[in-house]
Chain A
Amino acid sequence: MIEMTSILEFFRQDKFALVGAIIYILFILVALFAPAIAPYDPQEMVRVDGRIAFNREPEKNFKLGTTNMGRDIFSQLIYGARPALTVGFTAALFVMVVGTVVGLVSGYFGGKVDSLLMRLTDVAFGIPFDPFVIVLVSFLGPSIWNIVLAMALLLWRDTARVIRSQVLSIKKRAFVEAARVSGASHSRIIFSYIMPNILPLSLLYGSLAIGWAILTEAAVSFLGFGDPSSISWGYMLHDAYVSQALSRGAFYWMLPPGICIMLLVMAGFYISRGAEEVLQPKLRSM
């Protein structure tokens, strides 16, 4: 149980991380138990006395009111945690793995391999992100997996650059030199000596990527390229935008999804050393 206590100790010392972890756990619970928490099906057109309840303001039965199609906003909000977390975690996993491998191989082997991978990274940095996701999703079809794919294809760029420069500096340290001189193989040096030293950094970039992924999914859904079969927070805001919720001043519809996105993204920044990295941006790793 040593590990468990050290994790607890970490959270006790870092208040930001604690807040982030609590927010995450809450949202994960909401996503898991969505059917039990949400009073209605998010796609159901709710009826009151046999008539569909359009555009209701918040009341006892509809805590956050209903949409212009008579769907319960609170239920949509609860179910919205599912796509957000799914997209966030899967995209972050891809970003972390691809970015770490590219950075590691590039930094460790240097030379031609390095040049090739870094040119590839330049290309990834030169492609406008939102437009790329929109184009790819509209060609491949609107599904959250295509959104994840589009993000996985581009977002590894920051992680790769940061990991590469970290590897470059670790490579020059005495213990790596010693291992090399004593005849350790490349894979042994990479996995036993370098990996443990860059893992915290790649986890950190992974936790930041969760936030970017959630924001991107929201933006893409808002622009109308989202997955129509899953109600996400971005989709809810799209719905509100196109059905004149703004001019009607329906804040009960517009505010909650945005607040949820913001909380989840911020929790990603808080967790681990995320906040610190966001607070101290380094030029080369933007």
Chain B
Amino acid sequence: MTLNWKYIGRRFGQMLLTLWIIATILFFVFRLMPGNPLTAYIDPNFTKEQQEILLEQFGLDKPLFQQYLVFLLNLLQGNLGTSFVYRDDVLRVVARVLPNTLYLMLFSLIIAYVVGVLGGILLALLRGKKGETVGIILTLFTRSAPQFWVGMLVLAIFSFRLGWLPSSGTGPAGVTYASEWAKFTSPVFWKYMLLPSLTLAIYLLGLPLLLMRTNMVETMEESYVTIARMRGLSERRVMLKYAARNAILPVVTAMAVGFGYAIGGNVVIENVFSWPGLGRLLVDAVTMSDYPLAQGAFLLAAAIMVFMNFVADLLYSVLDPRITVEDMG
């Protein structure tokens, strides 16, 4: 494994370019919204003084192009404006909920990828048998069922009918955790996280499972596996020790992309379970016309996605040296 620094540098430059274009698109999309352009940053309910400050900060009295330059400058300094609803710095509001999204996402990804990899190995072992067809059809169910609908059913059964687990939020009403660490280590928090993360995991499960299965089937045909088999090792041992070990590499890369996707994709799950994360914040901000907040949440989600795509590309080039810059585009 050698690192191709030229490739990494080029890819990094492309990542920055992508981020800049996305920020630009976002700036103009947020000029599409109903009302005059001032409504993008200034809530009519702000005091005269607050309005003046924001007008100055974002150059809203200047022509569009200058506003755009000011927007980029502010962005570089992490200034995304003031939320209408929370009356607070957008970045601070977003940073408050981000950990919840990360916990939910990481926990679901771990469950999904562990179960997925094991399931993929199992399906490869069952190749050609009835169990394989059943497994595949079950997996296709998880890919076709709407996430929010699975969430609703899970809630109706485990929360409302059986009363085993709580239905919404990160803790009992009125309870606040002393710190992020206190929350993360509290069993109560994990109890609240169980249903949403399992629902998300069910959806995420399909990709690693199918990817693992395909890779296993492919590596089984490689010569070193045949040699291992000729040495008289048992089929199961060959599968696990030789095939699985190599088949898992692309799954690792997929996880990086999956991480990025989950950030943008768990909007629905967070809303079904009233989970106070980035996705729910975004939907609430759009619903309440809190434009600066919606823009900030969106930008952060996009930045995480772009970064994870970059990480995945690097992993991919390290794991498969045959890939060249031209292939990647």
Contact = CB atoms under 8 A, between A and B. Distances in A.
A48 interface: no
A106, A115, A121, A286 interface centre (most CB from chain B within 10 Å): A286
A41 interface: no
Given A121-B329, A246-B155, A286-B207, A281 B302 contact: no
Interface in B136-167: 136, 140-141, 143-150, 152-153, 155-156, 159-161, 167
B280 to A, nearest CB: 10
Overall SS of chain B's interface: helix
Contact of A224 (B144, B156, B287): B287
Interface stretch (B175-183, B231-239, B263-271): B263-271
Contact of B272 (A135, A241, A247, A283): A241
Contact of B301 (A131, A138, A211): A131
Interface string A216-247: 00110011110000000010010011000111
Instruction: Choose among A211, A281, A286 the residue with the greatest number of B CB atoms under 10 Å from its CB.
Output: A281
B279 interface: yes
A281 B210 contact: yes
A249 B167 CA distance: 14
Contacts of A140: 32
Nearest to A240: B152
Interface string A137-164: 0111000000000000000000001001
A221 B147 CA distance: 13
Interface residues of B, number: 62
Contacts of B327: 165, 168
A84 to B, nearest CB: 11
Contacts of A106: 329
Contacts, number: 172
A37 interface: no
B106 interface: no
B264 A130 contact: yes
B112 interface: no
Contacts of B309: 122, 125-126
Contacts of A280: 210, 214
Contacts of A241: 148, 152, 272
B305 A123 contact: no
Contact of A131 (B32, B34, B267, B272): B267
A265 B263 contact: no
Contact of A237 (B136, B148, B286): B148
A262 B144 contact: yes
Contacts of A122: 14, 18, 306, 309
Given A139-B32, A266-B140, 15 more contacts: A106-B329, A127-B305, A128-B298, A138-B33, A139-B33, A165-B327, A168-B327, A215-B144, A219-B146, A222-B146, A222-B268, A246-B152, A254-B152, A265-B143, A281-B207
* Nearest 5 A/B pairs, CB to CB: A128-B264, A118-B329, A258-B149, A126-B306, A265-B144
Interface of A: 106, 114-115, 118-119, 121-123, 125-132, 134-136, 138-140, 161, 164-165, 168, 211, 215, 218-219, 222-225, 234, 237, 240-241, 245-247, 249, 251, 254-255, 257-258, 261-263, 265-266, 269, 275, 278-281, 283-284, 286
